[in-house]
Structure 1
Amino acid sequence: MSFSGSFQRPAPSSGATRSEAHGGAAPGADASPPAPKADGGRLEADNALPNPPPAQAARRPGVRVDDRRVMLAGSLGFGLLIPQLSGLFGSLGPGDLRFWAGQAAYLALALAVWAGNRWLLFRQREHFDWFGQPWRKLVMLVVANVLYTAPVTVLGLWLAALLMGQPLPRAALQLVVAVNVICVLFVTHAYETLFLIRERESDLMWVERLQRARAQAELAALKAQVDPHFLFNSLNTLGHLISHDSARARECCDTLAEIYRYVLAARDHDLVPLADELAFLRQYQRLLELRFDQAVQLQLDPALQAAGARWLLPPLALQTLLENAVKHNRMAQDEPLRLRLGLQGDWVVAHNRRRPRSSALPGSGRGLANLDERCRLLSGRALRVRRSEQDFELDLPLVAAP
């Protein structure tokens, strides 16, 4: 059975506070409390991402299905069967014109009962809701059906009997009225059940649409932070070189121009190939060499490089890992900082020895927290951190390339 109608419910609002973690400690947490890591620590927040604006409660289309064929078929079935089973025709047969006059009256009665109760059902649905006023809705539904169906049935049977010139037995009248009321209540229950099923499907689709829009808005906000964050740290390196080594500063400008071309190209993509990120990471490593010489060293697992075409990840993800290690660890020519990147399944594993600085290098405080949120939105998995007194490891989730 199908039906038609349009009903609206308030759309859920969107907005969640996102907290971000200190770059060297751990990734940022979402609106829920931070999950314990392998070492028993918790995520530490120092910068709060503002709440995204509430989603606009756009009016969604109501539940609309054409039920005219069902109504005609049901009216035809009731109009043919009930008079025959209840003996309303008496001794009349198909060879008598009065039989067909009565049959037409019974079919018209069945259609009037169905169409009238259908109209009443749709009208009361506009004012009463099963969740807000269940008992009042139930009473109104039953009362409206009974008070409409019983009088219309009595009037229709009286007119049919008048057309056929037949008496209308009291027992037959009571039986048909009772049968019609019961059938109407059953059909109304079927309508309501199907309405609830369709509304449930509509609710699920609407919530999914809102969640998708919210995720897209959050991702756009996070991506908008990446460019300023990267530029801030790159200019910090350039500023150091300008005051210490003008020749290297010039090379730094040229290198920065090359790698920022990649940043501009990647900014419109949610995910980029791992091979592109590795090539970009080597260029960024050159920036660090201009400033720190061999005090910062990058070691890439051959398996990671061989898998560059099979995996995707957020833009500037690997650069963020290297930048985070530099920011939070001591380094020197005779004691270099080594960041090792490897591949384990569908994760990039970054490892470095922990040598905490007495004071961290300047930074925006958004690096790992931003990357963690982008990973959650794009892959459904967050960064994983394992740390001890000597070592710091971070797992970055990958997405399989199509």
Structure 2
Amino acid sequence: MVDQHALSTWTIKLSFLFTIGIAFIIWEGNRYLLFTLRSYFDWFNKPVRKIVVLVLAISFYTIPISALLLVIWYKLFNSGVVQWETIRTTTLIIMICVLFITHIYETVFLVREAENEKLKKEQLERARAEAELQALKNQIDPHFIFNSLNALSHLIEKDPPKARRFNDNLADVYRYILQNKARELVLLHEEMGFLTDYFSLLKIRFEQAVQLQVHFDAALYDQYLIPPISLQILVENAIKHNEFSDAVPLVITIEMQNDELIIHNQVRKKVLRKTSSRIGLHNLGERYKLTTSKEISVKESASDFTVSLPVLKIA
């Protein structure tokens, strides 16, 4: 024990300042170790190694430094009489306190690091999804233009007046694609209007050989959202893969059931010169997953082809 009555007021003040200095040196030294070790050892990849190195580093710094500074304190303020038992007990207490504070410190850091990692992962995932979605949207332009130009070329050869009408209507249809392909969702009202314009192109070319029947109330058009250029892809897909004529027309029906658009047509397989890549249908399915987190349903049999598109109801 130290006899405080034998010490002057200034000596007591200096001894307190010295103990504060001990605490500061131990704190800053361990803090430096913690930050240095973080750049070498990762909690997420090597947690056991991190714990072992952390405990060893703290022990090899805290114990000798604490003991040395306490010995100096006794030399300066206790007439050179060193009380080793007190030093051992005090060093042990200091070590326990350092370990406890380090535990709290690293736990807070680990929680923050985990939150940052989660945020980074979400940001990367969102950036990947947006890039994927943009790539899928960019496929729409060449796919639509290629099919439209083929149709226009056919009409120019067979029926030039129809080709002129087709060309005029094509501009309006393509304007919708340019204006809305960057949007993730549009009102069903807009999409149905676009489908009507697109079907007018088909009527110019095929006349009564293609028919569109919508079997749900137009009042629902403003109550739902849908990814743009969805219905056109399905109609285009039906035209591409089926045989039809004025005598046996291709009838495409659209119904609403349980917040899903049901697009159906009878199957009369067309013999294609090469196997279809089905890029339009695949594109639509991928866009749906990225935009709405929902999947489209495709049911195909020898006689029927049905696609179910989930639509988002406006709250």
Q: Percent identity?
A: 41
Tell me the equivalent position of 1:230. Answer: 144
1:130-169 equivalent positions in 2, closer than 5 A: 130=43, 133-134=46-47, 136-165=49-78, 167-169=81-83
CA distance in 1, matches of 2:278, 2:59: 69
In structure 2, the residue corresponding to 1:207 is in which secondary structure?
Answer: helix
Determine the structure 2 residue equivalent to 1:339. Answer: 252
| Structure 2 counterpart of 1:317, from 208, 211, 230 | 230
Deviation at 1:385, TM superposition (A): 1.2
Amino acid at match of 2:72: L
Q: Is the 8 A contact 1:267 1:315 kept in 2?
A: yes
- Counterpart in the other structure of 1:378: 291
d(CA) in 1 for partners of 2:66, 2:293: 60
**Aligned to 1:249, what secondary structure does the other structure show?**
helix
* Partner residue of 1:100 out of 3, 9, 13: 13
Structure 1, unpaired ranges of 5+: 1-87
Matched-pair contact (CA < 8 Å) for 2:4–2:12: no
Three-state SS of the structure 2 residue aligned to 1:335 is coil
Residues 1:177 and 2:91 aligned together: yes
CA distance in 1 between counterparts of 2:159 and 2:70 reads 106
| Distance in 2 (alpha carbons) for counterparts of 1:193 and 1:210 | 25
SS at match of 1:326: helix
Give, in angstroms, the shift of residue 362 of structure 1.
9.7
Match of 1:293 in 2: 207
TM-superposed CA distance for 1:265, in Å, is 1.6
User: What is the TM-score normalised by the length of structure 2?
Assistant: 0.90
Could you give the per-residue CA deviations for residues 174-225 of structure 1, whole angstroms, max 9, x where no partner exists? 1001111122122222222222222211111111111111111111111111
* Match 1:245 to one of 150, 159, 163: 159
Which residue of the other structure, out of 167, 178, 185, is the alignment partner of 1:271?
185
Give the 3-state SS of the residue equivalent to 2:248 in structure 1. coil
Other-structure match for 1:37? none
Distance in 2 between residues matched to 1:265 and 1:222, nearest whole Å: 16
Letter in 2 for 1:159: I
Q: Could you tell me which residue of structure 2 aligns to residue 284 of structure 1?
A: 198
Q: 2:219 aligns with which of 291, 301, 306?
A: 306
CA change 1:235–1:127 in 2 (3 A) is same
Partner in structure 2 of residue 16 of structure 1: none
CA 1:116–1:148: 2 relative to 1, 3 Å: same
Q: Any conservation in 1 of the 2:297–2:309 contact (CA below 8 Å)?
A: yes
Q: 1:212 aligns with which of 126, 149, 169?
A: 126
> Which moved further from structure 2: 256-265 or 274-283?
256-265
Partner of 1:353: 266
One-letter amino acid of the structure 2 residue matched with residue 333 of structure 1: D
Greater Cα radius of gyration, structure 1 or 2: 2
> 1:320: how far off?
0.8
Report if the CA contact (8 A) 1:281-1:319 is conserved: yes
Aligned partners of 2:259 and 2:312 also within 8 Å: yes
Alignment of 1:32-71 (within 5 A): none
Provide the TM-score with structure 1 as the length reference.
Answer: 0.72
One-letter amino acid of the counterpart of residue 368, structure 1: L
Change in Cα spacing, 1:318 to 1:194, as seen in structure 2 (3 Å) is: same
- Per the alignment, in what secondary structure is the counterpart of residue 355 of structure 1? coil
Residue 190 of structure 1 pairs with residue 104 of structure 2:
yes
Alpha-carbon distance, 1:363 to partner: 7.1
Q: Which amino acid aligns with 2:160?
A: S
Q: Displacement of 1:286 after TM fit?
A: 1.2
Provide the alpha-carbon RMSD of the alignment.
2.5
Deviation at residue 89 of structure 1 after TM alignment: 4.8
Contact 2:210 2:244 in 1 (8 A): yes
Judge conservation of contact 2:185–2:226 (CA < 8 Å) in 1.
Answer: yes
CA distance in structure 2 between the partners assigned to 1:97 and 1:317 by the alignment? 86
Structure 2 vs 1, CA of residues 141 and 271 (structure 1 numbering), >3 Å: closer, same or farther?
Answer: same
> 1:298 is aligned with what amino acid?
L
Secondary structure of 1:308 counterpart: helix
Deviation, 1:314, is 2.0
Aligned to 2:174: 260
Q: Could you say which structure has the greater relative contact order, defined with CA pairs below 8 angstroms and 6 or more residues apart?
A: 1
The structure richer in helix per residue is 2
What's the secondary structure of 1:385's corresponding residue?
strand
Which of 110, 114, 125 matches 2:23?
110
Tell me how far apart the structure 1 counterparts of residues 222 and 7 of structure 2 sit (CA, whole Å): 80
SS in 2 for 1:333: coil
Unpaired segments ≥5 residues, structure 2: none
